[in-house]
Structure 1
Amino acid sequence: MSKATIHTFFILLILLTLSGCSRIQHTPAAPVDACPVEPAPPDTPLSIHSCPDDTFAPPTPGRDPQMSARYHYLTFLMLHRQNRIDDAMAALEKAITLDPDASFLKRDLIRMYLSMDQKETALALAESLVAENPDNVENLLLLARLKKDDTREKTMPPLLERILELAPDNRETYLRLGKIYMENQQIPEALELFSRMADRLPDYYVAHFYLGEAHFLSGNYTEAAQAFQSTIDLEPDLIEPRLRLVDILQDPDNPAGKPDPDKLIAMYEQILTIEPENERALLETARLYHQTGQTKLAAQQFMDLGNQARQDNRLLMTAVDLYLSQNRYADAVIVFSGMLAADPDNDNFNFFLGLAHESSEQPKQAIEHYLKVSPAHPQYKKTQLTLAFLYREIGQTEKAVAFLEQHHRQAPDDIDFITYLAAFYENENQLEKAMALLSKGLKNARENTALLFRLGAVQDKAGLKDESIATMKEVIRLDPEDASALNYLGYTYADLGIHLDDAEVLIRKALEIKPNDGYILDSMGWVYFQQGDFDKAVGYLERAAELTDYEAIIAAHLADAYLKTGQKIKALKTFHKALAHAKESDTELISEVTEKIRTLEQQIQTPDTLNSDTVTP
């Protein structure tokens, strides 16, 4: 070795030592293909790390040190710290060429590819590295980390299970595999995995917690409670397992039945001794105090919560999630009523209390609180539109229309008020008013396809077929993918028995957009019926009837198609279904179907055949 070479080599070692490189040690027992560095948990950033030089293959005696893998790896580390990425890559690739069996060199190369945003290249190299040495845990862990955000999730469970075979105490791998199972609703697999984890790591509280979660999702309430209690025994200050124990008691599917309110209060109070600001526990204790007749205590706590919620939207949203989002409407009424005492004019309290009453089918109480929501509230318009429907629900349709008319006068260009008011006019058979209002709205919103579609539908109802057809054509011109307009125009043609080829094209396009829409399927069936292809008509109409639960007009269409194919028994049964599903306002349809039933019953001579689906000759 030349003096210049030796001098360069030692300077390089000094620079690496000063810059933080791991100290070079010489312990001949180290394995050739493994870097003895603690593997990073799966969620930590991938980073380059140096390894002791005894992880390299022994150098060839008498060979120039510059030709050793060790030398090029040290050069790579120095260049990497200097952010000279291209030169560092070249040095690392040279080291790999000289020592191709050193797995840690390839792992650092993978990390370099990732830092350069070459994930696919890194993933391919990691897979080849695992193929070369399938029992190397570090290689497997690195591949698993690379696949964390990869769409090819099906390959993950076997890979993670293999890691657990080789490293059965690896906590992160258990949790990652369990997460995959839980997200894919593979609850039995998750239950087996977390059972294994809890047996292997009995002092690890997380294992018991997720075992409890898996049992709870499996409906194993006793085992779930035991697992959550084990979690608490290991970590007494944890809140989440205590809340899960409450969830078990309150679960409607729990065979133990309704929980003891006093026991629930004690559990929530225990949570509050650990975490006095726990919002769920504060809300639920107040509700339970009210439920158990401790009205003064409940009122004081609701007052405190109301004052806090006025300033803290997070508490308010916790109440919404806990009660309204979980369909606990009666409880929501209690809680929001209690908080309302702190500020009777509060927009949020009145809005959510109105929503709770509406969801509890208490329209009069909902109206009372919705009326208190001010125009400044972000949900103001929603409350006003809802109020109109609630007025109609309690039999005050005229008041509902007047209410919407008032809002329309205040905001004459508001599309929502125009649309809803027109719908009310239409329902009250005030078709001229509806068309005039929609036309007025279109003057300022000529390309509003929702208004146009509604106008076309009202024109049709008013008997203005040509105008309706022209309006629907305009909707389709503005939006060729409007499935409703395509279907409406196609069905109109079919019902009139005109332009049947055009009708088929229109409805087929609508079906491409909404293939499982029962009303569009009915339209296609009716096109085939009008074309005389009754067998095809039956196929479409049967699917349409099933999807719409035998909606009256669709059931009548299907019964007509059965008649055309000679299936009188099926036709009669289906006409009866149409009659059963008809609305009181469907007077013309009811009359037609009733007459057809009478005629069919006269044709069918043996009443017993009504219990059969056979065709009567």
Structure 2
Amino acid sequence: MPELTQRATTGRLPLLLVLALLPCLLSNSCASSRPARLAYAGKSLSPEAEGAYQFLVYQDLLRQGKKDEAAKVLAGLNQSQPSPETAVELANLQWGQNEREAATKTLETAAATYPDSRQLVLYLASAYQMRRMPDAAVAALTRFVTAHPGDAQAVRELASLLEEAGRHKEALDTLSRIPEDGRDATTLYLMAKASAGLGRKDAAIALLRRAVAADAALTAAWTELGALLEEKGDLAGAEDCYRKMLAQDEDSPEVRAKLARVLIRQKKPDRAVKYLEEGPPDKARLLDAMSALLEAGYVKQARQVLARLAAAIPDSPDLPFYQAVIAYEGDKKPKEALAILAKVPPENPNFDKALSFRIQLTSEMGNFAAAQALATEARNRFPDRKEFPALEAVLYDKRGDTAQAAVILKEATATWPEDMDLLYRYGVALEKLKRHDEAKAVMEKILDKDPTNPDALNYLGYSLAEEGKDLETALAMIQTALAKEPDNPFFLDSLAWTLHKLGRNAEALAAIERAIARGVKDAVIWEHYGDITAAAGKKAEAQKAYRTALELGSDNPGDVKKKLGAL
């Protein structure tokens, strides 16, 4: 609830009342209010003077910290001499005392009495929003805008709520009510947001350019414009956008980080580092830039950024961890990274991350026994962290002991029964152990808790397709999974395989080609690719697919070789 400006007292107070209140107003003391009230007692005041006096008493009590007494006085004033301003003041006081329902009720009652008060309606909508009642907030503002279609501020507030709720078309339609000559920078910005939400990126960019031309200080519009230009691939335009933002606020580490990322994407790492070094040493932004440099392969510049952080914050507990990241990601020296991580003491706040990294590196280097010991240490040190049993289960699975992995995951799901990732991992382990019915039951349990969980939907859909059962249901499940992850190659493979089983081979071929295009190295997917291309009469593609499946270590090489020989 926004803080309110104290209401100015209307009208002039009688001289006697002013003199009686003078000690109270000068001292702000608790003792002063009693003489003032005694001096006032028995005097006949006009309603206006009475209201002014009660408001001063309320303010005096508030200054003394007596909020409950102050609220009673103000509630009485709101009853005897109601006004939009008094209602807002009372609601704000109630909200500050965590009486949110009472504050909302105060505003609702006042809004019904004064439906033309924009201030009241805006406060009421704000209260609804903060109580997570967005539909009520929209309804309150809609009523006001319907009655006052020319109130541009109220129209903008309504559109902002609609946009926040993802109702982009309604937001744009609402803003379109504002005449062209009345559309200020904020209106244009909100129209751009709604247009972008509807996928109209070019229109959004044009509106944002108009918005920043109308108000160069509108940071939100610049930020949105830069992001859309980046998304469109106009990196030079985005760079220009962030430079103009930086010209307005040279100390903004966030803008410097955005500019640095755009420069990195344009293969200008040295200029990116220059901008970072010129700004304040913001740890989060420097680490973000370092990650971007490493991802792009600029190891030297990543070191420069880390050196900047080390010089600015020499005792930062993050330094050893990120030194190890550079050694591993940049220099491809896992042993050196391990040596750095081993020196991270348990009291370091990044010790858990360092331990997790050590487990990963040790496992990658093939030392599963050492990795297992580290995983056990991690589980003992951090019993409340679910990622460590998951890591230990992965290690057992890699060593060929999937049964022990399943035991660990079963225990973890008992500790964290609402964690869908752990449940899914457990289901996969059961599937690998050929305990199909149990695996299916786990996946169904996931869907009971999360009906749109893409992994469980894909698993069950693919299982039905493999069994050749209820293929239409299988197809619907897999399509729902793909709606959440449209480029997941495993989901695309499931889709292709189900379509193939349904005899819809042209669609199956299109789906499996999308999966292969993702660069996936999975023997099953390549075998499916071979089956589908063979059915389509594409002999050369099928031969290549089967050979690739064999190279990737197919679980049934004999069957794949037979298919290859039959072509």
TM range (shorter): 0.5 to 0.7
- 2:319 pairs, out of 349, 370, 383, with 349
- Residue equivalent to 1:124: 143
| Cα deviation, residue 403, structure 1 | 4.0
| Structure 2 residue 154 is the aligned partner of structure 1 residue 142 | yes
CA distance in 1, matches of 2:446, 2:407: 19
| Structure 2 residue 262 is the aligned partner of structure 1 residue 319 | no
- 1:154 pairs, out of 169, 183, 189, with 169
CA distance in 2, matches of 1:538, 1:508: 18
Q: What code does the residue aligned with 1:347 have? A: P
CA distance in 2, matches of 1:583, 1:437: 27
- Residue equivalent to 2:514: 546
CA distance in 2, matches of 1:556, 1:372: 46
Q: What code does the residue aligned with 1:154 have? A: K
- 2:538 pairs, out of 570, 575, 589, with 570
SS in structure 2 at match of 1:585: coil
| Structure 2 residue 279 is the aligned partner of structure 1 residue 281 | yes
| Structure 2 residue 483 is the aligned partner of structure 1 residue 501 | no
1:425-504 pair list within 5 angstroms: 425-428=396-399, 430-431=400-401, 434-436=402-404, 438-439=406-407, 442=410, 446=414, 457=428, 461=432, 465=434, 468-476=435-443, 478-481=445-448, 484=455, 488=459, 500-501=468-469
| Cα deviation, residue 320, structure 1 | 1.9
CA distance in 1, matches of 2:553, 2:455: 23
1:220–1:79 CA distance, 2 compared to 1 (3 A) = closer
CA distance in 2, matches of 1:146, 1:471: 51
CA distance in 1, matches of 2:261, 2:489: 42
SS in structure 2 at match of 1:149: helix
Q: What code does the residue aligned with 1:124 have? A: R
| Cα deviation, residue 439, structure 1 | 2.6
User: Does the aligned pair in 2 maintain the 1:518–1:545 contact within 8 Å?
Assistant: no
User: Does the aligned pair in 2 maintain the 1:418–1:437 contact within 8 Å?
Assistant: no
| Cα deviation, residue 579, structure 1 | 2.2
- Residue equivalent to 2:18: none
Q: What code does the residue aligned with 1:557 have? A: H
- Residue equivalent to 1:251: 263
SS in structure 1 at match of 2:346: coil
| Cα deviation, residue 573, structure 1 | 1.4
1:187–1:519 CA distance, 2 compared to 1 (3 A) = closer
| Structure 2 residue 503 is the aligned partner of structure 1 residue 535 | yes
- Number of paired residues? 440
1:127–1:365 CA distance, 2 compared to 1 (3 A) = farther
| Cα deviation, residue 475, structure 1 | 1.6
Q: 1:38-88: CA deviations, max 9, x gaps?
A: xxxxxxxxxxxxxxxxxxxxxxxxxxxxxxxxxxxxxx9975566599998
CA distance in 2, matches of 1:413, 1:198: 49
TM-score using structure 2 length = 0.57
Task: Quote the sequence identity (%).
Answer: 19
CA distance in 1, matches of 2:431, 2:170: 56
Q: 1:132-182: CA deviations, max 9, x gaps?
A: xxxx5xx334323333322454355576577574347x5554555566667
- Residue equivalent to 1:166: 181
- Residue equivalent to 1:34: none
Q: What code does the residue aligned with 2:325 have? A: L
Q: What code does the residue aligned with 1:146 have? A: L
User: Does the aligned pair in 2 maintain the 1:507–1:524 contact within 8 Å?
Assistant: yes
CA distance in 1, matches of 2:181, 2:489: 54
1:595–1:345 CA distance, 2 compared to 1 (3 A) = farther
SS in structure 2 at match of 1:320: helix
| Cα deviation, residue 477, structure 1 | 5.8
In structure 1, list runs of 5 or more residues that go unmatched: 1-14, 20-75, 93-105, 131-135, 269-278, 284-314, 601-617
- Residue equivalent to 1:8: none
Q: What code does the residue aligned with 2:156 have? A: A
| Cα deviation, residue 552, structure 1 | 3.2
User: Does the aligned pair in 1 maintain the 2:108–2:124 contact within 8 Å?
Assistant: no
1:124–1:260 CA distance, 2 compared to 1 (3 A) = same
| Cα deviation, residue 189, structure 1 | 4.5
CA distance in 2, matches of 1:398, 1:526: 39
1:266-277 pair list within 5 angstroms: none
| Structure 2 residue 378 is the aligned partner of structure 1 residue 386 | no
User: Does the aligned pair in 2 maintain the 1:181–1:187 contact within 8 Å?
Assistant: yes
Q: What code does the residue aligned with 1:129 have? A: H
- Residue equivalent to 1:307: none
1:396–1:246 CA distance, 2 compared to 1 (3 A) = closer
| Cα deviation, residue 321, structure 1 | 3.0
Q: 1:355-400: CA deviations, max 9, x gaps?
A: 3444434433332332233334454334323323322434545543
- Residue equivalent to 2:4: none
RMSD: 5.4
CA distance in 2, matches of 1:336, 1:478: 46
The structure whose residues are more often helix, as a share, is 2
CA distance in 2, matches of 1:446, 1:185: 43
Q: 1:167-214: CA deviations, max 9, x gaps?
A: 47x555455556666777866546655665777x6xx75379968985
User: Does the aligned pair in 1 maintain the 2:185–2:212 contact within 8 Å?
Assistant: no
